[in-house]
Amino acid sequence: MSDSTMNRRTFARLFAAGGSAALLGHPRLRDHRPAALRSFDVRPGAVDWQAVRDQFVMPPGVSVLNAANLCPSPAAVLDDVVDHTRRLDSEPFPSFRSEIGGAKERTRGLLADFLRVSPEEILITRNTSEANNWVSTGLDLGPGDEVVTFSDNHPSNNQAWKSKGERFGYTVREVPHVDPHPGAEYYLEAFEAALTPNTRVLTFMQHTNTSGDVFPAKELCAMAREHGVVTLVDGAQSFGLMDVDLSDWQPDFFSGSAHKWPCGPKETGVLFVNQRMHDRFWPSMYSAYTGRTGLSRTHEGMGQRDTPAIHAFGTQIEFLQSIGQSEIEARSRELATMLLEELSGIDGVHMWTPVQAERRGAVVTFRPGELEPRDVLAALEGDGIVAAARGGSDRPGIRFSPHFYTMEADVERAVGAIQQYLRTGL
């Protein structure tokens, strides 16, 4: 049996025959310890993407096209989490707890450099949802105030504003998405038209998880500032994919998760709080173990944290920086374009993602003819392809989101699978 042929049925048979021992003995599931990247592997304009792919633990038989939901971490980051957790559990002396706790400031500094802001403006959260909720809870809003959202924001963000609006008495106005993406100018005008003298906050995703639409973050933030409106940019689908420069965008808040495009440890995330908002933003929690820099002294009191994961978050940022974020963005977008163009050529496929490169990122969503998306997703899993499905009546279908660890062979494999399903059925 080759590495590429272990599907769900094989998985079940192995488990029934020998339990976890049989599974761990299979070549696809053995420990993978790659050699570290060399400077030669990551030369600007000539990155060896196979060498980068080899840093991850996914075996050759698995094609991961689900970065918009969950990314694997490189082996070095996994080892970082395990090593620091093991040491913390074997040597739980106050001195080491203080040492590993102090590593939070190392990660904060790396995040600040990565986003081109100051460490005093960085809060380390558990994910984007928590970061967004800190904002919707931490601003003084009440009767007479208005918040403008976007219908294609992640539901967790929109629902938080709606629920808190009901509780605190403010109004939520929603700008509807238009399919296909009508262009940046349309949305600039639509968002500005939604503002009133009572608008206090504008929140939008810079890159959507639904169809991969991209929005003009810098221009929207500038427009909001002209109207005295606070901006929260949901960067869950931007952070780790795009070369984000918050010193240029100048939002009031920007949120992101490590477990998506940054390929970092789970339950770590970031919230940027612009210096101009520090005296207008209340903490959402009051407990022990705050940070040591800037706003974190008052807003990171969350009690005991997973400090090894926070340390590894910094390790992963260093990994991204060793390659170059502009290189990563270009690579991911190139693979998405390859997917979009090849899928669009298949009879029966209806593409939800915009054709125009400037209107999309690295998320490719499409309807696979009359096939049920959940059934297609199950078939893809059986063929070793990790993706996501979208049900309901709003742009139902399959979502592929390649990243810099994806190889051209993974793209061809996914396209070939969809072509086969549409030709012969599931």
Which CATH number characterizes residue 416's domain? Answer: 3.90.1150.10
Task: Tell me if 27 is assigned to some domain.
Answer: no
Distance CA 22, CA 161 (A): 48
Task: Tell me if 15 is assigned to some domain.
Answer: no
Question: Dmax of the chain from CA atoms?
Answer: 68
Task: Tell me if 242 is assigned to some domain.
Answer: yes
Of 292, 322, 352, which residue is a domain's last? 322
Do 311 and 171 reside in the same domain of the chain? yes
User: For residue 271, how far is the Cα from the chain centroid?
Assistant: 13
Do 285 and 142 reside in the same domain of the chain? yes
Number of domains in the chain: 2
Of 296, 322, 348, which residue is a domain's last? 322
> Any bridge partners for residue 56, and if so which?
74
Question: Are the C-beta atoms of 131 and 122 separated by less than 8 Å?
Answer: no
Task: Tell me if 36 is assigned to some domain.
Answer: no
Question: Could you tell me which residues come within 8 angstroms of residue 180 by beta carbon, excluding any fewer than 6 positions away?
Answer: 354, 355
What pLDDT is attached to residue 339? 99
pTM: 0.91
Distance CA 293, CA 412 (A): 47
Among residues 157, 54, 63, the alpha carbon closest in space to that of 412 is found at 63
Do 317 and 332 reside in the same domain of the chain? no
Do 207 and 338 reside in the same domain of the chain? no
Do 304 and 333 reside in the same domain of the chain? no
Q: Is 33 exposed, middle or buried (CB count within 10 Å of its CB: 0-12, 13-18, 19+)? A: exposed
Do 318 and 328 reside in the same domain of the chain? no
* Lookup: tokens for 337: 């374009």
Distance CA 350, CA 109 (A): 44
Task: Tell me if 338 is assigned to some domain.
Answer: yes
Do 301 and 188 reside in the same domain of the chain? yes
Task: Tell me if 19 is assigned to some domain.
Answer: no
The boundaries of the domain holding residue 179 are: 82-322
Cis peptide before 180 (omega within 30 of 0): yes
Distance CA 212, CA 363 (A): 4
Task: Tell me if 58 is assigned to some domain.
Answer: no
Distance CA 395, CA 285 (A): 38
What pLDDT is attached to residue 191? 99
Q: Can you list the residues of the chain whose pLDDT is less than 70?
A: 1-33
Among residues 140, 194, 192, 189, the alpha carbon closest in space to that of 172 is found at 194
Do 229 and 350 reside in the same domain of the chain? no
Of 269, 304, 322, which residue is a domain's last? 322
Distance CA 72, CA 262 (A): 9
3-class SS of residue 95: helix
Do 406 and 318 reside in the same domain of the chain? no
What pLDDT is attached to residue 316? 98
What pLDDT is attached to residue 22? 38
* Lookup: tokens for 269: 């995330």
Q: Residues 150-171: pLDDT tens digits?
A: 999 999 999 999 999 999 999 9
* Lookup: tokens for 414: 């996914």
Do 107 and 215 reside in the same domain of the chain? yes
What pLDDT is attached to residue 295? 95
What pLDDT is attached to residue 31? 54
Do 147 and 273 reside in the same domain of the chain? yes
Question: Are the C-beta atoms of 401 and 414 separated by less than 8 Å?
Answer: no
Do 204 and 344 reside in the same domain of the chain? no
Task: Tell me if 13 is assigned to some domain.
Answer: no
User: In this structure, what CATH number is given to the domain that contains residue 284?
Assistant: 3.40.640.10
CB atoms under 10 Å from CB of 267, counted, come to 17
* Lookup: tokens for 386: 């990790």
